């Protein structure tokens, strides 16, 4: 897996987990890239230099900025581990989010909002890839992501751990009139279909973001961010 770009590579190098090597554009005059080379070497990481054409060939985002960090497959966190942790639980569950840019943006907001973990299903959903990592602006190095075989089974497991589960839907109760404190999980659905009917039935309550415009839906990552920061606001 490629982690491309200066900011994303910095996060990966500082985290220094599962890194195979760092490939840097030969004879680069970029001060930030040179600093990243020093940082990588200080952590004992393998650094290779290659011409720009070589980086262009292996780049998947086409925005490598002179540095590509090669890492092993993204390391997901088992949901069991999250549920066993001490302290308040704040989970975000994603139902059929297929756009990697949406997932990356959600992870970025989740990291800023203090989310314990983001839970995604292994099927009918985008997984963490190079585009997700880039869009997250480094958040994938900090926020925990759980990949589960079946989202509905995961919801049952989460409820058994005494975590209150909310689904988001335009026909729900206003989130501003809902107590979002304590151990909670928020389900965010896809833009096209929203939260699946069965998944919605498994939730303890359905909430909505009040809107005044003529459109009846928001971009999934925008909606997720609004809800997450309302949870953060209520918890302060």
Q: Confidence band (pLDDT; 50, 70, 90) for 192?
A: confident
60 and 83 within one domain: no
99 and 183 within one domain: yes
Provide the domain limits for residue 64.
2-71
227 and 129 within one domain: yes
Q: What is the CATH number of the domain that holds 128?
A: 3.40.1280.10
Q: What is the pTM of this model?
A: 0.77
Q: How far is Cα 113 from Cα 214, in angstroms, rounded to an integer?
A: 29
196 and 114 within one domain: yes
Instruction: Name the residue among 80, 134, 122 with its Cα closest to residue 97.
Output: 122
138 has a pLDDT exceeding 70: yes
167 has a pLDDT exceeding 80: yes
126 and 226 within one domain: yes
162 and 116 within one domain: yes
Would you say 70 and 21 are in contact if contact means Cβ atoms under 8 Å apart? yes
Last-in-domain residue among 38, 55, 71 = 71
The percentage of residues in the chain with a pLDDT greater than 70, rounded to a whole number, is 99
172 and 127 within one domain: yes
Instruction: Report the pLDDT averaged over residues 7-34.
Output: 88
Last-in-domain residue among 71, 105, 131 = 71
Cβ count within 10 A of residue 69: 28
What element of type H or E holds 25?
strand 19-25
6 and 115 within one domain: no
Domain count, the chain: 2
100 and 83 within one domain: yes
Q: What is the CATH number of the domain that holds 63?
A: 3.30.1330.30
197 has a pLDDT exceeding 90: yes
96 and 9 within one domain: no
Last-in-domain residue among 71, 100, 123 = 71
> Please, what is the average pLDDT of the chain?
92
């Amino acid at each position: 897996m490629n982690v491309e770009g200066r900011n994303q590579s910095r996060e990966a190098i500082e985290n220094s987990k599962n890194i195979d090597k760092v490939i840097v554009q030969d004879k680069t005059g970029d001060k930030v890239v040179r600093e990243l080379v020093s940082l990588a070497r200080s952590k004992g990481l393998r650094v290779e230099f290659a011409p720009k054409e070589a980086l262009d060939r292996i780049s998947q985002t086409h925005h490598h900025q002179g540095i590509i960090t090669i890492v092993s497959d993204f390391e997901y966190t088992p949901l069991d581990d999250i549920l066993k942790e001490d302290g308040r639980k704040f989970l975000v569950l994603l139902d059929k989010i297929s756009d990697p840019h949406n997932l990356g943006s959600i992870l970025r907001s989740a990291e800023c909002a203090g989310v314990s973990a983001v839970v995604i299903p292994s099927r009918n959903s985008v997984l963490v890839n190079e585009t997700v990592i880039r869009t997250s602006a480094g958040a994938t190095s900090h926020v925990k992501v759980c990949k589960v075989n079946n989202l509905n089974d995961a919801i049952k497991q989460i409820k058994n751990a005494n975590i209150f589960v909310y689904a988001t839907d335009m026909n729900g109760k206003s989130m501003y009139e809902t107590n979002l404190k304590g151990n909670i999980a928020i389900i965010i659905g896809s833009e096209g279909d929203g939260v699946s009917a069965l998944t919605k039935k498994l939730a303890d309550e359905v909430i909505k973001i009040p809107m005044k415009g003529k459109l009846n839906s928001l971009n999934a990552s925008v909606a997720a961010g609004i809800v997450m920061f309302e949870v953060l606001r209520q918890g302060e």
